[in-house]
Structure 1
Amino acid sequence: MNFSNLTIISLTGDENYTQGSMYAIERSCLELQGAKGLLISPTRPANLPAHIKHIPCKKFSYMEYNLYVLYALKEVIDTEFCLIVQPDGWVVNGKNWRDEFFNYDFIGSVVPSFVIRDERGITLENSQCWIKKINGQHFDYSPPNHQQTLNGGFSLRSKRLLNIATELKLPVFIPPPDTVFKDGKLETQWKFPTYNEDTFLTGLNREKLTQHGIKFADRRTATQFSIETPYILGVLQAELTQCLGLHYRYLHLTGVNEVSFKPIIAQLEKDWQNHPNVIAIIQWLNQLGYRVNMDLN
């Protein structure tokens, strides 16, 4: 298949992620031949491949990143669809592409959170409310009135989706932070940041966007597209080797064929070898020719 209707893009305001973002675009373009490549970053990497276009930007924060994706990304995409990639989210195996992905305006991996609308209003719940571990296995206990949120870090979006927040003049609401200090330093933090563009689009505003014709991928399709949280593989009975890509924050591209694995959560640092789905992801990458370097320091 020719992917001339697709732009593979990575956007970062942090120089520390520029190189990895370039690798994510380069690898994804290799997997989906014919797609355009676009990197937006403060500086242009010296080794940027000729087929990847670069647009300079100022340095910006994570909050600004979300606002750029919601309101500005449409200005730089001239294809029918775009695929957002990051150093920790890219096309792992292009052979798993499904043409039906183009039937949706937004596809991203299932994440362990969802939005509930009831008499309390709108609430954002985490995985502890819908995934329960029983005898070593995870089970789905999603409430019937939930709206599943999808990940944006590795996601396919239509041009129509890119335009919708501006067309409908959807404002981003930022509540007071849950904490303002971290490790003795002034730093605002939110337990559930409502400004996260994926939560904003696929959760908080899904009902409104659906009414305007935006089509979000169902859980099954989303899991065929990508995986983010390993234990969701078991919950949704998904086949890892059939996924197009992944978005997993402990894996970062350090080259077109090289990946660094760094388990930064304390529990995972101690017993990551006892997590079968984590092992399965690493084995999957090895089987596809990636060299996975373990960063356990």
Structure 2
Amino acid sequence: MKDFSKITLVSVTGVAETQQRAVYALTLSLRQMPGARAVLCSPQAPASLPDGIEHRKIAALSYQDYSWFMMYALWRVVETEFALIVQDDGWVLDTANWSDDFLNYDYVGPTAHVGRIDTETDTRWVTHYKWSAELDKPGKVVMPTINGGFCLRSRRMMRALIDHPEIKVTIPAPDNIDGDPLKVSWTHCALNEDVQLTCVLRPALEAVGLKFAPLDMCLRFGIEHAGPVHRGIDMMSLFGHHCRWRRLIGIDPPTVQYRTKRSIAERAFREMDIAHMLEARGYRLQFLPENA
């Protein structure tokens, strides 16, 4: 039997709306991980919690507050060597696909579509998995964002910005300032904690010894949206997943509410392969009405 005693499952939610679904994600994941601890971080404790899940009270969080919490305060609620982050839209699928090799790294997670490409002369950001076309090209260093909503982090990673105050969060200038009403935004989501840790700050973190899992391991660990790098992936081989489209709304039986119409999911690359994998695992799927 696998031993997960080095790991604490953590779900951080700053709003009441997602709290019960976060409990579902913790419960479903914990059932498969004997020896692991589990912590729900939220402003108010639920009326009841399943055995094995602890509650830690935190202040209400905005979307951006969440990123600051994960970069600077996560270590305060975790006593084990590793934290496995789960959310109402990201959780463990199958611990038969777990590998102890994941523990050899400070950060492991599914790849995201945003990526950073460094050359000797500049840094370029790309989206929609365009970074995959640049892999292994001479003179280019490709850094895909590694998803933070379902990921494994070592305590060293959780404390990285505490123990190395010289490494500072850097916000590039926004690349979109337009619209009516006028809006400021970043195509590469530079304000998000996973983009910061795994792309913006990655060279500095690696320079002080932090280790990020290689691409092939990230592809085995889980999936967000599928891209060209997932063309040959067996969806049944995944340890977990995270995607805002797929929300866990029940666990007995496990039920996923898609936040999109089935017709849209069918047009998304390999999304229905993910849906069929969930059904094969006993999940019930719900999609938004086609006339919504």
TM-score for the superposition, normalised by structure 1:
0.87
| Alpha-carbon distance in 2 for matches of 1:42, 1:188 | 29
The alignment partner of 1:19 has SS state of: helix
2:236 equivalent among 237, 241, 255: 241
The alignment partner of 2:109 has SS state of: strand
Give the corresponding residue for 2:22.
21
Identity %: 33
Give the corresponding residue for 2:266.
273
| Alpha-carbon distance in 2 for matches of 1:51, 1:287 | 28
The alignment partner of 1:261 has SS state of: strand
| Alpha-carbon distance in 2 for matches of 1:195, 1:262 | 23
Which amino acid in structure 1 is aligned with residue 240 of structure 2? G
Given the superposition, is the C-alpha separation of residues 246 and 233 from structure 1 closer, same or farther in structure 2, using an over 3 Å criterion? farther
Deviation at 1:270, TM superposition (A): 4.4
Could you give the per-residue CA deviations for residues 83-108 of structure 1, whole angstroms, max 9, x where no partner exists? 00111110011211111111111001
Give the corresponding residue for 1:135.
none
Is the CA contact 2:82–2:154 (under 8 Å) kept in the aligned structure 1?
yes
| Alpha-carbon distance in 2 for matches of 1:26, 1:247 | 16
1:191 equivalent among 187, 191, 194: 187
Is the CA contact 1:149–1:202 (under 8 Å) kept in the aligned structure 2?
yes
| Alpha-carbon distance in 2 for matches of 1:87, 1:195 | 21
Give the corresponding residue for 2:169.
172
Is the CA contact 1:9–1:83 (under 8 Å) kept in the aligned structure 2?
yes
Give the corresponding residue for 1:146.
142
TM-score for the superposition, normalised by structure 2:
0.89
Given the superposition, is the C-alpha separation of residues 8 and 182 from structure 1 closer, same or farther in structure 2, using an over 3 Å criterion? farther
2:277 equivalent among 279, 284, 287: 284
| Alpha-carbon distance in 1 for matches of 2:73, 2:187 | 26
Give the corresponding residue for 1:70.
71
Structure 1 position 209 matched with structure 2 position 199: no
The alignment partner of 2:31 has SS state of: helix
Deviation at 1:155, TM superposition (A): 0.2
Which amino acid in structure 1 is aligned with residue 255 of structure 2? E
Structure 1 position 162 matched with structure 2 position 158: yes
Give the corresponding residue for 1:80.
81
CA RMSD of aligned residues (A): 2.2
| Alpha-carbon distance in 1 for matches of 2:183, 2:59 | 22
Which amino acid in structure 2 is aligned with residue 109 of structure 1? P
Could you give the per-residue CA deviations for residues 191-237 of structure 1, whole angstroms, max 9, x where no partner exists? 223221111111112122112221111111001000111234544x2
The alignment partner of 2:270 has SS state of: helix
Residue ranges of structure 2 left out of the alignment (5+ in a row) = none
| Alpha-carbon distance in 2 for matches of 1:271, 1:73 | 35
Residue ranges of structure 1 left out of the alignment (5+ in a row) = 132-139
Which amino acid in structure 2 is aligned with residue 272 of structure 1? A
Is the CA contact 2:114–2:127 (under 8 Å) kept in the aligned structure 1?
yes
The alignment partner of 1:263 has SS state of: strand
Structure 1 position 293 matched with structure 2 position 282: no
Could you give the per-residue CA deviations for residues 221-278 of structure 1, whole angstroms, max 9, x where no partner exists? 001000111234544x2221101001121100001211111227xxxx6443344611
| Alpha-carbon distance in 2 for matches of 1:202, 1:175 | 15
Give the corresponding residue for 2:34.
33
Is the CA contact 1:9–1:84 (under 8 Å) kept in the aligned structure 2?
yes
Give the corresponding residue for 1:250.
245
Is the CA contact 1:172–1:194 (under 8 Å) kept in the aligned structure 2?
no
Given the superposition, is the C-alpha separation of residues 52 and 187 from structure 1 closer, same or farther in structure 2, using an over 3 Å criterion? farther
| Alpha-carbon distance in 1 for matches of 2:186, 2:264 | 28
Which amino acid in structure 2 is aligned with residue 290 of structure 1? Y
Higher mean alpha-carbon deviation, 142-151 vs 101-110, is at 142-151
Could you give the per-residue CA deviations for residues 127-153 of structure 1, whole angstroms, max 9, x where no partner exists? 36335xxxxxxxx34353222221111
